[in-house]
A and B are shown apart, each in its own frame.
Chain A
Amino acid sequence: MIEEHSFGPVPITCHSFNKDCSQLALSLNSNTVDIYKKSGQKWEKLQSLEEHSERVTSIDWAANTDRIVTASADRNAHVWTRDSTGQFRPTLVLLRIDRAATVVKWSPLENKFAVGSGAKLVSVCHFEPEHNWWVCKQIKKPFKSTVTCLAWHPNNCLLAVGATDFKARIVSAYLKEADEKPAATCWGGNMKFSNVMAEYTNGGSGWIRDVAFNGDGSLMAWVSHDSSVSVANGSTQTLAVLRFAMLPMLTCCWLSDTALVAAGHDCYPVVFRYEAGSASLSIAGQLNMSADQSGGSTKMTAKTMFGNMDRMATEDSVEKLTTVHQNSIK
């Protein structure tokens, strides 16, 4: 069952839903973030958050505490909290980065968030009540290039980080100001801040586009720009890699401990099956339900055929893709 919602002809750069998916924060390739509320079948605009001076690169809505964090190419991040009138107001965040922020994610307990940036580091921010701002500690050492994607482990302390240096890593983002000391996980026991728990490369070289932990945090999956998907298993210490035939995937997320869905340049989501025993990945199916049952290409009348020949010097033209999405899915 697919619901289709359009917000205009502009690409949606980033978006995030609130807890019950009744509200949506999105950015249409601009400096502003729009908050929409669902009313019936339509979305009505509630507010426009205008604090950033450059393109907004990432938005995350904290489900339980109802706060939004936005990160932008202007090297800033802002945390937005609702005031008494229901409007969102920004709070200062000190990121101390000198390059664009690329991705931001709230931690599971929503007391910290991590920001990846082109400055080759991850800033882990927590709130300091006496000054009413968010301060950060930076993880610099392992990263040799821009950080592109982040995912939090359920224990609120470990972070999976993918970067353009072709490696996916698990680092510790344990802050004694914000967390209690975490128990050892299958990725190791020493969780001193910025310690690298694991580092993986899938043998090829493609930018890591997205990284995701499964429900209990024992599996880390990532999709890379060399048309591959990989899963690292912390309990069995194995790495499964699948190089597939399609265009690269841009985003992935776990459906269960054995199923992973990913989508990207081919404009339709694909489901992958992961088997822990044999450490193998395979394609299980695709979610490519065509909106137009006739397959997308309309019947060629003589008029359209000559019209196309005139306009585009071709006899038949496929202007609409057969997939639901008409462009890359991020």
Chain B
Amino acid sequence: MSKRTTNAKFRTVDVDQYNEDNFEDALLDGDSAGPDASGDGYLAVSDAELSKLLADNKISEALAALLAKPPVNVKSSAVKDQAANQVLRVLMHTKQSDIDRVVQALDEAHVDTLMKYVYRCFELVKENHALLLVWHEKVLARGQIGSIVRALSDRKRV
């Protein structure tokens, strides 16, 4: 396509937002009951607690705590990024041989959330995906294809 040569700085209004036909996502807007919706100071596990759990090699506990309250309803993306990075730390900290045991010990309800986080971590990691791919394989063995369908279709993103 040809390069834009004229000045487009006058385009300050996003007309698409005023379209009446746009879908209002009540799922995300109205659903702020629960964890602090403003996002201030909300994290299931603080970074310090997480470091301690990882130092003691309590992978399952760390993961259970993080997966129990994922910031799905929070609007602040900074909080979501922080939580995702925490999960990434736990996933990368685990030895490959332990992954299977940790996945089997998970609560049924947390398997779908973990699958969402595995995909989120694929976005965060620039190289060295090998360990994440093993995580994906083990979670898939537990959650089956249904967990991938839910990870992809759920509008409550982690």
Residue numbers of A with Cβ under 8 A of B are 144-145, 165-166, 201, 204-206, 225-228, 243-248
Contact = CB atoms under 8 A, between A and B. Distances in A.
Interface stretch (B54-62, B93-101, B145-153): B145-153
Contacts, number: 48
A205 B156 contact: yes
A246 B149 CA distance: 9
A205 B146 CA distance: 13
A245 B23 contact: no
A194 to B, nearest CB: 19
Nearest to B152: A226
Contacts of B23: 144-145, 165
Interface of B: 23-24, 26-27, 112, 143-147, 149-150, 153-156
Main secondary structure of the interface of A (DSSP, over half): loop
B146 to A, nearest CB: 4
A146 to B, nearest CB: 10
A205 B144 contact: no
Given A205-B155, A205-B156, A243 B150 contact: yes
B112 A243 contact: yes
Contacts of A144: 23-24, 26
Given A226-B154, A228-B150, 12 more contacts: A144-B24, A204-B154, A205-B27, A205-B155, A206-B154, A226-B153, A243-B146, A245-B144, A245-B145, A247-B145, A247-B146, A248-B149
Nearest to B143: A245
Contacts of B153: 204-206, 225-226
A248 to B, nearest CB: 6
Contacts of B150: 204, 206, 226-228, 243
A247 B153 CA distance: 12
Contacts of A226: 149-150, 153-154
Contacts of B146: 227, 243-247
Contacts of B149: 206, 225-227, 247-248
Contact of B27 (A166, A225, A246, A248): A166
Most buried by B among A144, A145, A227, A228: A227
Contacts of B147: 245
18 contacts: A165-B23, A166-B27, A205-B27, A205-B153, A205-B154, A205-B155, A205-B156, A206-B149, A206-B150, A225-B153, A226-B153, A227-B145, A243-B146, A244-B146, A245-B145, A245-B147, A246-B145, A246-B146
Contacts of A166: 27, 155
Contacts of A243: 112, 146, 150
Contacts of A201: 27
A205 B31 CA distance: 13
A291 B27 CA distance: 44
* Top 10 closest pairs, chain A to chain B, by CB: A245-B144, A227-B146, A205-B155, A245-B146, A227-B149, A226-B153, A206-B153, A226-B150, A205-B154, A244-B146
Nearest to A145: B23
Contacts of A227: 145-146, 149-150
Contacts of A165: 23, 26
B65 to A, nearest CB: 21
A228 B146 CA distance: 8
B34 to A, nearest CB: 12
Nearest to A266: B145
Contacts of B143: 245
A248 B156 CA distance: 18
